[in-house]
Amino acid sequence: MRRKLAAGNWKMNGTAADLAVVEDICKAHKGAGVDILICPPATLLSRLTDAAGDVIAAGGQDCHAKDSGAHTGDIAAGMLADAGATYVILGHSERREDHEETDQDVREKAKAALAAGLKVVICVGESLEEREAANTLDIISGQLAGSIPDAVTGETLVVAYEPIWAIGTGKIPTLDQIGEVHDFIRARLEERFGAGVGRSTRILYGGSVKPGNAAEIFAVSNVDGALVGGASLKAADFSPIISALEDS
Ligand code: PGA
């Protein structure tokens, strides 16, 4: 009942030349049995939407909590939608760290995104210190409670579990550790939003997903796809990850 999702987060990478990746993925995965999303820098959103047709959805990497106004350099959710985005990533650990975003900030941004008709990919995840201190589930619980607004549905909410120490490092948690957190997130969502929303919300794993580890990660319970950083920048890496998700 949950349609799987392969999401690419290009972060601060990509110019027009990189739209070739989008074209290659489109050719290779036309009619895919999973949803495919790429979140490029905002400068590429509308061109990516043109190149992606109906094969790949486009998403932003952040939005402002307000609709408009004197906020130099920021982008409103409605502007992302206007440029062709249907999703937005919110609360990525790099935003939480580089821009000191709090759970409350993420929640306000998510409300604005939902009001603009976007689906939200809300990121949660523990630091290495928190994992080593056996605080992972407490941290995740607090981030879920604080960052997700009340007005979500299984259609509009995606949660991404991204252990901070696994992002861009080549390290991933054990499959048991991934399963434990994903089962926990599912249980918390069901508790707060009821079985309907809780069971239909997609939960992605993110952090050093590569062609070589994708299949084993996708076999873990309650893993409905991946949020992929570095490996989404090349079709030769992202495409086998999408295929592994289709086969899972
Ligand atoms: P990575 O990044 O795949 O490069 O580890 C994942 C992310 O930050 O979303």
pLDDT in tens, the chain (248 residues): 799 999 999 999 999 999 999 999 999 999 999 999 999 999 999 999 999 989 999 999 999 999 999 999 999 999 999 999 999 999 999 999 999 999 999 999 999 999 999 999 999 999 999 999 999 999 999 999 999 999 999 999 999 999 999 999 999 999 999 999 999 999 999 999 999 999 999 999 999 999 999 999 999 999 999 999 999 999 999 999 999 999 99
Q: CB–CB of 116/78 below 8 Å?
A: yes
Write the residue with the smallest CA distance to atom 6 of ligand 1: 229
Assess whether the C-beta atom of 163 lies below 6 angstroms from ligand 1. no
- Residue 229 beta carbon below 6 angstroms from any ligand 1 atom: yes
- Is the shortest distance between the CB of 36 and ligand 1 below 6 Å? no
Residue 95 alpha carbon to ligand 1 centre in Å? 13
Judge if the beta carbon of residue 207 lies within 6 A of ligand 1. Answer: yes
223: nearest Cα among 184, 190, 195:
184
Most ligand 1 atoms within 8 A of CB, residue of 217, 228, 233, 234 to mutate: 228
Between CA 63 and CA 74 the distance in angstroms is 7
Strands 202-206, 225-228: pairing kind: parallel
62 lines ligand 1 (CB under 6 A): no
| CA 71 to ligand 1 center in whole angstroms | 28
Alpha-carbon span 64 to 61, nearest angstrom: 11
The minimum-distance atom of ligand 1 relative to the CA of 230 is 4
Output the residue whose Cα is nearest ligand 1's atom 3: 229
If you take atom 9 of ligand 1, which residue's CA is the nearest one?
229
Alpha carbon 169 to its chain centroid, in Å, reads 18
Residue 51 φ/ψ region, left for φ over 0, alpha for ψ in the -120 to 50 degree band, beta for the rest: alpha
Contact between residue 179 and residue 219 where contact means Cβ atoms under 8 Å apart: no
- Cα(231) to centroid of ligand 1, in Å? 8
Its pTM stands at 0.97
Q: Label the pairing between strands 57-60 and 119-124.
A: unpaired
In sequence order, which ranges of the chain are alpha helices (DSSP H)?
19-29, 45-52, 77-82, 93-98, 103-115, 128-132, 136-147, 175-200, 214-218, 235-247
Please tell me whether residue 231 adopts helix, strand or coil conformation: helix
CA 108 to centroid of ligand 1, rounded, Å: 24
- 9 pocket-lining for ligand 1 (C-beta < 6 Å): yes
Distance CA 186, CA 1 (A): 14
For residue 53, the model assigns a pLDDT of 86
41 vs 216: CA distance, rounded Å? 30
Q: Which residues are catalytic?
A: 92, 162
| 135 three-class SS | coil
Type of residue at 57: A
162 CB less than 6 Å from ligand 1? yes
